[in-house]
Structure 1
Amino acid sequence: MTDHLGSCLCGTVKFEVHGQFDSFYLCHCEWCQKDTGSAYAANLFSQSAKLAWIAGVDAVTSFTLPGTRHSKSFCKLCGSALPSIQVAGLLVVPAGCLDIEITMLPTAHIFTSSKAAWGQGLRDVPEFGGLPH
């Protein structure tokens, strides 16, 4: 089994994922835009991998949008997105909370009908290795 290590921004919450990811979706739905404050959410999915909390489980909290299956877990101290177990045992892991390099490429963009207009055509935007002066 493969182990994937992760944590929150403040380091309070630490976890391991034992097993493989089935897919890696970049979700452009309006809810994921609100969750991330960005153009899309980058989440890894697995039906078989197991989540093990190493530290800080008491700092993990969850929110489910009323009337939907849209749910997210996060650190109640720093707000970082964290893994959650969804409907039918589906493990969802925000890619950015992993502390290891992700070698899996995204499987697909989903809910592209909701794409943020400002998130398109980014190839032409200048790039900087750090904060521009």
Structure 2
Amino acid sequence: MNIGSCLCGSIKFEIVSDPVAVSHCHCKMCQKQHGAAFATYARFKRADVEYTKGKEKLSVFNSSEDVLRKFCSICGSNIEWGCSERYPEWVAIAVGSFDNDFSTSEIKELHQESKVCWLRSS
């Protein structure tokens, strides 16, 4: 089980399954939303994600045609993004919001055409 929260603790969640995919997204929208070179998300079935505190404090931004990005209305922590119409049964959760140790065997690199020039590979 993965558990997580926003920076201020107003929102808490639990996830009862393992992710079906994990990715570093280098798209410009993720860079701007996270204020970082990329965003790391793990994708889960929406039914496996339960908000245990503060679900009403999630703010929503429709960043593109049908992508909804959700974040804490108090501290601004990025929590999730999902497609409102195309794939409503899936949700991607920001791995940085997990409170437990998280590991995965594979991380896909998405939208590398937008990868920042100053990010060096290790």
TM-score by length of 2: 0.87
Point out the structure with the larger strand share: 2
Residue 60 (structure 1) aligns with = 58
The aligned runs of 1:116-131 (5 Å cut-off) are 116-119=116-119, 121=120, 123=122
Deviation (angstroms), 1:19: 1.1
Gaps of 5+ in 1: 124-133
Residue 27 to residue 71, structure 1, CA distance change in 2 (3 Å): same
Residue 100 (structure 1) aligns with = 100
Residue 25 to residue 19, structure 1, CA distance change in 2 (3 Å): same
The aligned runs of 1:24-103 (5 Å cut-off) are 24-47=22-45, 50-66=48-64, 68-86=65-83, 87-103=87-103
Deviation (angstroms), 1:84: 4.4
Q: CA RMSD in A?
A: 1.8
Deviation (angstroms), 1:30: 0.8
Residue 25 to residue 49, structure 1, CA distance change in 2 (3 Å): farther
Poorly superposed stretches of 4+, deviation over 6 Å: none
Gaps of 5+ in 2: none
Larger radius of gyration: 1
Residue deviations 1:36-80 (CA, integer Å, cap 9, x gap): 1111010001247611111111211111124x2333110000000
Residue 9 (structure 1) aligns with = 7
Task: Output the amino acid matched with 1:79.
Answer: G
Task: Output the amino acid matched with 2:17.
Answer: G
